Homo-oligomer: A and B are copies of this chain.
């Protein structure tokens, strides 16, 4: 719930997410129902659908249809996006395929993503991994288009590297950055949108490594033109851990990179030749009207990054993790329940309860 509130409040996060954390206190056969309910009940951002087989997809669609005005409206105006993962090398399992088909029939967008681990589930060469990935993603896309021509599909990649010294996976490094960037290029080649990258790290704590790895793994896809990034915020320890402070730090990185992606606007106003000419060599622009007008939209105001003087900073000497902890508490406090019609709440809960009875039988 706290991650959901953070995702809802964070202005540089567009999607509320799917299984933000795996709630192990709930029965694994039905927990996707509670998670989806939480997204619909507590956030107005786009949720992600369940890919737990045909059942998961069907239930997602039923719940969404209730919220968005019925199945026909939903088919016309898709309201959920779902991640379908292939099994590298070169497999699609029954559960993910089942979900894919249900969403395709209902015209809901699906991300077909390959997660090759170079050196273990793919060759130890990046080109080889991209080839395996490409085959898997194209297979998924072809299946979706065959079942339901025109299904919105997204070319997905979350490929990584096997560290040959420890045997563990490494999800944040230059090689993985290259695979995230090249996925964007392949998607562009086929004329479909791309999902790749994320604020991911192998680090176990919110430290310098968590900062540089997450920044690199977000910036590579942003620079290459990826359209949707999952796992933007919160990940530590190669997918295995979610941290509140890391979530806030990654949301700040996302804000910086969103400004980066906006680029440089070039027109007469922004070139400001008249202002430069008026100010002249050696003088300053601080008291210019042009400065007062433009700095507010041109410069992003950081929410987490420290820009104080050393003396100002040294009073409390808070590092990024400390400040993220404070900001996290503020964001959760700032969260406002977007409200969901009470009748609708009851309808969704009643559906969920009857489904739970069936599934747990």
Tell me the A residues contacting B by CB distance below 8 Å.
Answer: 87, 89-91, 118-128, 130-132, 161-166, 168, 170, 173-175, 177-179, 182, 202-216, 219-220, 223, 237-238, 240-241, 249, 252-253, 255-260, 262-267, 269-273, 275-276, 279-286, 288, 290-291, 293-295, 298-302, 304-310, 312-314, 317, 319-321, 324
The contact of A276 among B132, B182, B272, B298, by CB within 8 Å, is: B132
For this complex, 9 residue pairs linking A to B, each with C-beta atoms less than 8 Å apart, are A90-B280, A90-B282, A124-B288, A125-B272, A166-B307, A177-B256, A178-B260, A208-B210, A209-B306
- On whether the beta carbons of B310 and A204 are closer than 8 Å, the reply is yes
- On whether the beta carbons of B305 and A126 are closer than 8 Å, the reply is no
A171 to chain B, nearest CB (A): 10
- On whether the beta carbons of A285 and B124 are closer than 8 Å, the reply is yes
- On whether the beta carbons of B211 and A210 are closer than 8 Å, the reply is yes
A275→B276 CA distance, assembly (Å): 61
Take A208-B324, A259-B173 as given contacts and tell me if A164 and B306 are in contact as well, using a CB distance cutoff of 8 Å: no
Q: Which residues of B contact A300 (CB under 8 A)?
A: 173-175
- On whether the beta carbons of A89 and B276 are closer than 8 Å, the reply is yes
Q: Which residues of B contact A132 (CB under 8 A)?
A: 276
Q: Which residues of B contact A126 (CB under 8 A)?
A: 264-265, 270, 298
- On whether the beta carbons of A90 and B260 are closer than 8 Å, the reply is no
Number of identical monomers bound together in the oligomeric complex: 2
- On whether the beta carbons of A127 and B306 are closer than 8 Å, the reply is no
Query: Most chain-B Cβ atoms within 10 A of its Cβ — which of A162, A173, A209?
Result: A209
A257→B179 CA distance, assembly (Å): 13
- On whether the beta carbons of A131 and B202 are closer than 8 Å, the reply is no
Q: Which residues of B contact A177 (CB under 8 A)?
A: 256, 260
Q: Which residues of B contact A202 (CB under 8 A)?
A: 305-307
A49 to chain B, nearest CB (A): 26
- On whether the beta carbons of B281 and A91 are closer than 8 Å, the reply is yes
A199→B21 CA distance, assembly (Å): 33
- On whether the beta carbons of B215 and A270 are closer than 8 Å, the reply is no
Residue of B nearest to A224 (CB): B223
A63→B20 CA distance, assembly (Å): 62
- On whether the beta carbons of A284 and B174 are closer than 8 Å, the reply is no
Q: Which residues of B contact A266 (CB under 8 A)?
A: 127
- On whether the beta carbons of A214 and B212 are closer than 8 Å, the reply is yes
- On whether the beta carbons of A285 and B122 are closer than 8 Å, the reply is yes
A133 to chain B, nearest CB (A): 11
Q: Which residues of B contact A279 (CB under 8 A)?
A: 89
The contact of A170 among B120, B214, B263, B307, by CB within 8 Å, is: B307
A61 to chain B, nearest CB (A): 30
A236 to chain B, nearest CB (A): 9
